[in-house]
């Protein structure tokens, strides 16, 4: 942390020494491995997230082979899967394990840690004008808890009885009784331990994000001038702090049921004809607790992607975001509503039908803020000077999958229709589009857009465009047909559907088609991996502000050191969406440009009292008199502020 | 002069703020347990038994420890080092006393054949969720109290090294906040148990 404070303690004149100052003291381990720099931690999250994404994707390809081509000889997978392939066939229990781990990995390790972990860490300090997170140490701890959790989860894939196999929601009694399923033994224990560490990591991260956004904003960065990315990360963290502890409680009770003989979730049960004598547990209780996290988790995954998209669409449409306040309002509404809709996952679990209609009503209300957001994206694009960067393509792709996946949510949210659709491929199609693909597109948009800030180089645009079109067409080919299968009642999580004549005749070629489409989509991800790694080392060098963007991160050096800005942190004088302002010289005015430097484009409410009715000269004169004094005051206060923080550390 | 200089946004001490968020997450853990308790209790098949009477004593001990914590805090602000040290040591001792009392409560439960776990196959008195919940609520609270004791220990050592005084209050401020929270949390759990038992 000491290095962070250095720039503030020097005067502007000595600014040149800084880089020099802090590069020395850090050993390789402190700089790249146990780093407290939010940018390094963000990159660590990104690399881990990409690793998990490829692993999770590979698992889905294996079970897609089984679904698409049930008669296929899978002996060629024996070198990887070993005894999980018996006589050329995939072991049915291992199929369940694959589905479970695919869900767990994608939801938690890729789209929560990989998305929120990467971009909240990277962008919060850079966009609000802070030198680092509120606590660099806790931030580092957060990553290493995640790493520990990752190691345990990864190890569980390789144990003899296989990883957890009860579905990513790990409902008891399947998950509570080790004798229920191979995967409910050791694999389930490791799943729970890994998730406990994951929750700790996520809480440390969220607490840090909220604290940083509220307390470490630079001069002038009021809440109404925050970029929508930061609003999204902030609200995501709020959801995390409120919902993850509940999952922790649920998991703790499950651990007690598994290993300490309690019966919170276990009621009178027979297994293999033998009565187990558990007394008075309620499996529904688990479902309530799980979905109290589980549903907000959907928005933990989605909101960061929506925030990233808002920023990228405004920048590349060269237009102010349409309805800035409506965007914030709808994100807040989503945050609040996300906590009161959980039981729509339980419509067919024996829930009181009256309670069901209340949850149905609340669920359908979420369509309103979601529609406001979709509308605002489209109206921002409307008649903009659109620049089709790869980040922009993925953002527009997000809007598309968000709408087509969101519409089916309105159908699923109805408790009556859900009776037919529950646990069918319709649900699979719905959440893979609206949550999976949308968040994945947001993640990719963010990677392409902020790659220059992360690595000082540009990714290749042509490869990026090919990656986008392959992925965009691919996800629709994969998930769209699933709607039809789902409406016909085709159940999810089934190892073999060919026993049912109807589905076999109707859908065998369709599932085969989906599998081929999934393989096709996966190939384009390899292209991304090549582009990503190649660009880190060989990409074109990034200019200072490659997308001509307004936000503060582009005022920091191209390869920012620990502490982000050399010398003073810029102050903020305007909102982040002054694109194509009438009268302005350029089509963008960054947040740190004062109003008095842009008299030609100021709107009536932005004209200062002293400058009313006068031309440029008067404003320029005022500026001369003023510019010195505030700078000095800034320095003094800045110094005082940092000193306070410093003395705390010495205690 | 006439220009609106950008204002420094309102902010509080980041670490204190983070502590409050940590407290919120603990509240959510207990909110989950207590709502699970209520939902489960409403379903019936709920074993009725008396709360351990020692809870009254432990509650009094914990409230007393909050008082001594506050006394230590006041003493630190007035640079009264003797008061600070005495207050901190008393708080630690009362905190340990509380834990001993909670342990006694568990022993009392065992004597009443209220067990944490065990089903009818291996125990003539199978565990009912009503009993298990009591163990979980008190156990998880005790776990947090141990973390509070560690925090108290660190501040006590600092107090004996004269590193806590009126010019250096951040850490004892945070320690007092956390300890009072653990106290309030226990009192509310106790009231919750008294009402919903």
- Three-class SS state of B8: coil
**Interatomic CA distance for residues A71 and A504, integer angstroms:** 12
Query: What is the reported pLDDT for A635?
Result: 41
DSSP string for residues in A438-479: HHHHHHHHHHHHHHHHHHSBPPPHHHHHHHHHHHHHHHHHHH
DSSP state at residue A522: H
Average pLDDT, chain A: 88
Chain B CB contacts of A260 below 8 Å: 116-117
Sign for the pseudo-dihedral over CA of B16, B22, B26, B31 = positive
Report ipTM for this prediction. Answer: 0.93
Query: What is the reported pLDDT for A76?
Result: 93
User: Alpha-carbon dihedral of residues A321, A324, A328, A329, nearest 10 degrees?
Assistant: -130
A571/B25 Cβ within 8 A: no
For residue A39, what are its two tokens? 């940018």
Chain B CB contacts of A608 below 8 Å: 2-4
A261/B127 Cβ within 8 A: yes
pLDDT digits (tens, 9 = 90+) for A577-625: 999 999 999 999 999 999 999 999 998 888 765 544 444 443 444 444 3
Q: Which residue has the higher pLDDT, A302 or A611?
A: A302
- Per-residue confidence band for A642, with pLDDT thresholds at 50, 70 and 90: very low
- Whether the per-residue pLDDT at A646 is higher than 80: the answer is no
| Domain limits, chain A | 34-266+274-538, 552-650
Min Cα separation B140/chain A (Å) = 10
Largest alpha-carbon pair distance within chain A?
93
- Whether the per-residue pLDDT at A400 is higher than 90: the answer is yes
A260/B36 Cβ within 8 A: no
Main-chain phi, psi angles of A149, to 5 degrees: -60, -45
- Whether the per-residue pLDDT at A20 is higher than 80: the answer is no
**Interatomic CA distance for residues A45 and A43, integer angstroms:** 5
In chain B, the domains with their CATH numbers are: 51-195 (1.20.120.80)
Chain A CB contacts of B4 below 8 Å: 608
Burial class of residue A163 (count of CB atoms within 10 Å of its CB; 0-12, 13-18, 19+): buried
pTM of the prediction?
0.90
- Whether the per-residue pLDDT at A256 is higher than 70: the answer is yes
pLDDT digits (tens, 9 = 90+) for A414-429: 999 999 999 999 999 9
- Per-residue confidence band for A261, with pLDDT thresholds at 50, 70 and 90: confident
- Per-residue confidence band for A351, with pLDDT thresholds at 50, 70 and 90: confident
- Whether the per-residue pLDDT at A123 is higher than 60: the answer is yes
Mean pLDDT of B97-117: 94
Size of interface A-B (CB pairs under 8 A): 170
- Which percentage of chain A shows pLDDT scores above 90? 76
Instruction: Find which of A24-28, A77-81, A265-269 is predicted with most confidence, using mean pLDDT.
Output: A77-81
- Per-residue confidence band for A24, with pLDDT thresholds at 50, 70 and 90: low
For residue B197, what are its two tokens? 């038992």
Among all chains, which residue has been given the structure tokens 């640079």?
B79
For residue A597, what are its two tokens? 């430097």
* Neighbouring-strand partners of residue B165: B168
Among all chains, which residue has been given the structure tokens 């919060």?
A124
Among all chains, which residue has been given the structure tokens 């994951």?
A198
Query: What is the reported pLDDT for B4?
Result: 60
* Nearby residues of A264 by Cβ (< 8 Å), 6 or more positions away: A253, A254, A256, A257, A281, A282, A285, A286, B36, B40, B129, B132, B133
Q: Which of A135, A264, A622 sits opposite B18 (nearest CB)?
A: A135
- Whether the per-residue pLDDT at B51 is higher than 70: the answer is yes
Which run of H or of E encompasses A56?
helix A38-68
- Per-residue confidence band for B3, with pLDDT thresholds at 50, 70 and 90: low
Q: Which of A244, A285, A610 sits opposite B2 (nearest CB)?
A: A610
- Per-residue confidence band for A633, with pLDDT thresholds at 50, 70 and 90: very low
Mean pLDDT of A303-313: 97
Buried b (16+ CB within 10 A) or exposed e, A430-461: bbbbbbbbbbbbbbbbbbbbbbbbbbebbbbb
- For the domain with range A34-266+274-538, which CATH number is right: 1.20.210.10, 1.10.10.10, 3.30.70.1140, 3.65.10.10? 1.20.210.10
Q: Which of B11, B119, B122 sits opposite A214 (nearest CB)?
A: B11
pLDDT digits (tens, 9 = 90+) for A472-491: 999 999 999 999 999 988 89
Main-chain phi, psi angles of B165, to 5 degrees: -160, -175
Mean pLDDT of A204-228: 95
CB atoms within 10 A of CB A185: 20
For residue A120, what are its two tokens? 């909240």
Three state DSSP letters for B168-184: ECHHHHHHHHHHHHHHH
Three state DSSP letters for A348-391: CCCCCHHHHHHHHHHHHHCHHHHHHHHHHHHHHHCCCCCCCCHH
A651/B168 Cβ within 8 A: yes
Query: What is the reported pLDDT for A25?
Result: 63
- Per-residue confidence band for A375, with pLDDT thresholds at 50, 70 and 90: very high
**Interatomic CA distance for residues A338 and A333, integer angstroms:** 8
**Interatomic CA distance for residues A119 and A175, integer angstroms:** 33
For residue A539, what are its two tokens? 């990409």
Query: What is the reported pLDDT for A467?
Result: 98
DSSP string for residues in A183-229: GGTHHHHHHHHHHHHHHHHHHHHHHHHHHHHHH-PPTT--GGGS-HH
Q: What angle do CA B116, A186, A256 make, to 5 degrees?
A: 15
Among all chains, which residue has been given the structure tokens 């589980």?
A294
Burial class of residue A29 (count of CB atoms within 10 Å of its CB; 0-12, 13-18, 19+): exposed
- Three-class SS state of A86: strand
DSSP string for residues in A236-277: HHHHHHHHHHHHHHHHHHHHHHHHS---SS--S-EETTEE--
Query: Which has the minimum average pLDDT: A398-412, A600-614, B82-96, B173-187?
Result: A600-614
Residues making up chain B, counted from first to last: 197
B127/A611 Cβ within 8 A: no
Query: What is the reported pLDDT for A651?
Result: 36
- Per-residue confidence band for A29, with pLDDT thresholds at 50, 70 and 90: confident
For residue A219, what are its two tokens? 């001069």
Main-chain phi, psi angles of A262, to 5 degrees: -75, 170
Nearest residue of A to residue B2 by CA position? A610
- Three-class SS state of A639: helix
């Amino acid at each position: 942390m000491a290095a962070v404070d250095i720039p503030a303690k020097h005067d502007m004149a000595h600014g040149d020494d800084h880089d020099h100052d802090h590069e020395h003291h850090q050993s390789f381990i402190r700089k790249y491995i146990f780093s407290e720099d939010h940018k390094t931690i963000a990159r660590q999250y990104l690399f881990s997230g990409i690793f998990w994404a490829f692993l999770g994707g590979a698992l889905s390809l294996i079970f897609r082979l089984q679904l698409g081509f049930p008669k296929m000889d899978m002996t060629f997978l024996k070198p990887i899967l070993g005894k999980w392939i018996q006589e050329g066939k995939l072991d049915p229990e291992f199929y369940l394990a694959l589905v479970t781990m695919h869900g767990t990995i994608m939801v938690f390790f890729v789209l929560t840690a990989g998305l929120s972990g990467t971009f909240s860490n990277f962008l919060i300090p850079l966009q609000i004008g802070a030198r680092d997170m509120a606590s660099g140490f806790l931030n580092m701890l957060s990553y290493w808890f995640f790493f520990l959790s990752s190691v345990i989860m990864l190890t569980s894939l390789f144990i003899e009885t296989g990883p957890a196999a009860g579905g990513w929601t790990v409902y008891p009694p399947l998950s509570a009784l080790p004798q229920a399923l191979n995967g409910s033994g050791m694999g389930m224990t490791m799943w729970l331990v890994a998730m406990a560490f994951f929750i700790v990591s996520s809480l440390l991260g969220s607490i840090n994000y909220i604290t940083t956004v509220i307390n470490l904003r630079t001069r002038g960065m009021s809440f109404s001038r925050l970029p929508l990315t930061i609003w999204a990360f902030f609200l995501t963290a709020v959801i995390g702090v409120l919902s993850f502890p509940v999952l922790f409680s649920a998991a703790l009770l499950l651990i007690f049921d598994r290993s300490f003989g309690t019966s919170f979730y276990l009621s009178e049960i027979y297994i293999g004809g033998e009565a187990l004598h558990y007394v008075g547990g309620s499996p529904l209780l688990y479902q309530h607790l799980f979905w109290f996290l589980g549903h907000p988790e959907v928005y933990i995954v989605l909101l960061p992607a929506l925030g990233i998209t808002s920023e990228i669409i405004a920048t590349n449409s060269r237009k102010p975001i349409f309805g800035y306040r409506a965007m914030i309002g709808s994100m807040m509404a989503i945050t609040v509503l996300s906590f009161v809709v959980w039981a729509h996952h339980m419509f067919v679990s024996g829930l009181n039908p009256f309670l069901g209609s209340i949850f149905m009503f609340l669920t359908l209300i979420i369509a309103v803020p979601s529609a406001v957001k979709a509308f605002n994206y489209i109206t921002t694009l409307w008649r903009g000077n659109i620049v089709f960067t790869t980040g922009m393509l993925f953002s527009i792709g997000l809007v598309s999958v968000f709408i087509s996946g969101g519409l089916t949510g309105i159908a699923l949210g109805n408790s009556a229709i859900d009776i037919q659709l529950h646990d069918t491929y319709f649900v699979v199609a719905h959440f893979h589009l609206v949550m999976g693909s949308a968040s994945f597109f947001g993640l990719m948009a963010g990677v392409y857009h902020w790659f220059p800030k992360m690595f000082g180089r540009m990714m290749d645009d042509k490869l990026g465009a090919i990656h986008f079109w392959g992925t965009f067409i691919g996800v629709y080919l994969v998930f769209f047909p699933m709607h039809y299968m789902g409406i016909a009642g085709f159940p999810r999580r089934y190892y073999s559907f060919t026993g049912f004549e109807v589905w076999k005749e109707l859908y065998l070629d369709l599932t085969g088609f989906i599998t081929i489409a999934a393989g096709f989509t996966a190939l384009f991800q390899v292209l991304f991996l090549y582009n990503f790694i190649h660009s880190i080392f060989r990409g074109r060098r990034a200019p200072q502000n490659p997308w001509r963007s307004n936000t503060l991160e582009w005022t920091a050096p191209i390869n920012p050191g620990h502490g982000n800005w050399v010398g003073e942190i810029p102050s903020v004088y305007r909102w982040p969406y002054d694109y194509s302002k009438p009268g302005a010289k350029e089509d963008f005015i960054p947040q740190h440009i004062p109003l008095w430097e842009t008299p030609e484009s100021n709107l009536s409410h932005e004209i200062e009292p002293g400058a009313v009715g006068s031309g440029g000269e008067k404003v320029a004169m005022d500026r001369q008199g003023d510019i010195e004094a505030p700078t000095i005051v800034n320095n003094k206060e800045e110094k005082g502020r940092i000193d306070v923080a410093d003395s705390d550390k010495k205690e | 002069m006439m220009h609106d200089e950008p204002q420094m946004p309102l902010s509080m001490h980041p670490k204190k703020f983070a502590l409050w968020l940590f407290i919120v997450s603990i509240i959510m853990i207990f909110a989950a347990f207590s709502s699970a308790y209520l939902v489960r209790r409403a379903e019936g098949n709920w074993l009725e038994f008396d709360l351990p009477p020692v809870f009254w004593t432990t509650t009094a001990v914990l409230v007393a420890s909050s008082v001594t914590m506050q006394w230590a805090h006041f003493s630190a602000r007035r640079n009264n080092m003797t008061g600070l040290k005495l207050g901190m040591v008393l708080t630690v001792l009362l905190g340990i006393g509380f834990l001993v009392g909670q342990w006694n409560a568990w022993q009392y439960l065992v004597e009443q054949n209220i067990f944490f776990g065990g089903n009818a196959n291996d125990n003539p008195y199978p565990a009912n969720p009503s009993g298990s919940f009591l163990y979980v609520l008190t156990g998880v609270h005790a776990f947090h109290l141990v973390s509070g004791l560690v925090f108290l220990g660190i501040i006590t050592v600092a107090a004996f090294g004269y590193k806590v005084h009126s010019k250096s209050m951040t850490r004892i401020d945070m320690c007092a906040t956390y300890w009072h929270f653990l106290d309030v949390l226990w009192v509310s759990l106790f009231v919750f148990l008294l009402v919903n038992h």
